[in-house]
């Protein structure tokens, strides 16, 4: 995954918004390990007592994801311009924009659009002032339940306001790409990401973690009938690879980030059983009308523009991840 020598980013200033979250914290540690001469700043609102109407926490950033991180940490809100303006003094070279309302079950349209779409415009305007390249998190939610394989620019019909907010971010990115040639802008449409440091996402963590915890705790798991819904599951190390390679794209734009193969939830269970032992599967009704039943990333353009080559199949990803799942279970009880 390390495409660059340790000197390539020496002295470069890198901002990671949402840097105490799942993907953001993994990025922070990637640069700390492979490019220790770079100056990495994490910007995150961090978890507090505030919750959405659905009971989930508004902020998923947790300091525990950053234990061992030696860079600078700033507590701030991307929706507050006074917090964002503090960043101008740093003169960043790269901005990884991971911060967002990422809970797909939140239906407060104003809140989601302010946090995702409006704040993204502010990030882009700051990037223009600093001449900073931008790599940001988009989502497979932009496709909704349209026919797979999913390809950027085709059949984009989001089923919820989260997917809509990400599609509007992508449209804005293309607008800025046309207007400004001084910086690079790359959007990454993440499919179903799983892996280390996602625990503090709670109920919005991947099904791989949730099913693993259920299996260890109860020797039984719950799946929506009949477990044959298919998703493109992508391991966190492949997502980090895509982000790093997006720092030097052959072409600005929006690209899918998946493994390029759809797998069922029953497949997840079969793989978990190999590592955790046998467990029962209870099939339940699906209460979500907007649920995506089948996603599959067309990654041909991603491979061409970013030289992205996913390495982790579902089997390899679960095998790499399962020790952390066991460790989490031994020290926490996850419902």
- Per-residue CA distances from 93 to 26, 131, 193, 303 (Å): 19, 7, 26, 24
CB-based contacts of 300, cutoff 8 Å, min separation 6: none
How far apart, in whole angstroms, are the C-alpha atoms of residue 291 and residue 129?
39
**What is the Cα–Cα distance from 176 to 181, expressed in whole angstroms?**
9
| Residues 38, 240: Cα–Cα separation, whole Å | 17
Q: Tell me which residue of 266, 268, 276, 265 sits closest to 322, measured CA to CA.
A: 276
Three-state SS for 297? Answer: strand
Helices (H), the chain: 22-34, 81-85, 109-113, 119-130, 161-179, 207-218, 236-245, 265-276, 300-306, 314-331
Instruction: Reply yes or no on whether 201 is catalytic.
Output: yes
Q: What residues contact 28, with CB distance under 8 A and at least 6 apart?
A: 16, 19, 40, 42, 66, 69, 71
Give me the catalytic one of 162, 176, 235, 255. Answer: 162
What DSSP state is assigned to residue 64?
G
Contact 238, 257 (CB under 8 A): yes
State CA 59 to chain mean position distance: 14
Phi and psi (nearest 5°) for 86?
-60, -25
* Catalytic residue (choose from 13, 39, 47, 201): 201
Candidates 205, 194, 262; CA nearest to 228 is: 262
Catalytic residue positions, numbered: 162, 201
């Amino acid at each position: 995954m390390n495409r660059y020598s340790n000197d390539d980013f020496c002295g470069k200033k890198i901002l990671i918004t949402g840097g105490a979250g799942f993907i953001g914290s993994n990025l922070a540690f990637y640069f700390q390990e492979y490019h220790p001469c770079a100056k990495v700043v994490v910007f995150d609102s961090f978890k507090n007592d505030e919750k959405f109407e659905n009971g989930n926490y508004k902020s998923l950033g947790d300091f525990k994801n950053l234990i061992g991180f030696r860079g600078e940490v700033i507590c701030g809100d991307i929706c507050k311009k006074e917090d964002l303006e503090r960043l101008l003094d740093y003169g960043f070279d790269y901005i990884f924009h991971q911060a967002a309302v990422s809970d797909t079950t939140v239906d407060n349209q104003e809140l989601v659009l302010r946090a995702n779409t409006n704040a993204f415009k502010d990030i882009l305007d700051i990037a223009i002032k600093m001449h900073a390249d931008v790599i940001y998190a988009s989502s497979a939610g932009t496709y909704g339940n349209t026919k797979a394989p999913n390809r950027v620019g085709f059949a984009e019909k989001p089923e919820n306001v989260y997917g809509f907010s990400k599609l509007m971010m992508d449209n804005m990115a293309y607008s800025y790409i046309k207007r400004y040639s001084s910086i690079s802008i790359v959007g990454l449409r993440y499919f179903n990401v799983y892996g280390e440091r996602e625990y503090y996402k709670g109920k919005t963590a991947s099904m791989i973690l949730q099913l693993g915890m259920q299996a260890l705790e109860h020797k039984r798991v719950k799946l929506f009938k009949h477990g044959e819904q298919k998703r493109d599951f992508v391991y966190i190390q492949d997502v980090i690879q895509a982000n790093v390679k997006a720092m030097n794209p052959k072409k600005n734009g929006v690209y899918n980030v998946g493994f390029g193969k759809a797998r069922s939830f029953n497949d997840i269970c079969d793989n978990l059983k190999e590592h955790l032992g046998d467990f029962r599967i209870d099939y339940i009704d699906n209460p979500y009308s907007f649920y995506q039943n089948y996603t599959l990333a067309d990654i041909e353009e991603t491979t061409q523009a970013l030289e992205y080559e996913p390495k982790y199949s579902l089997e390899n990803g679960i095998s790499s991840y399962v020790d952390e799942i066991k460790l989490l279970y031994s020290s926490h009880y996850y419902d």
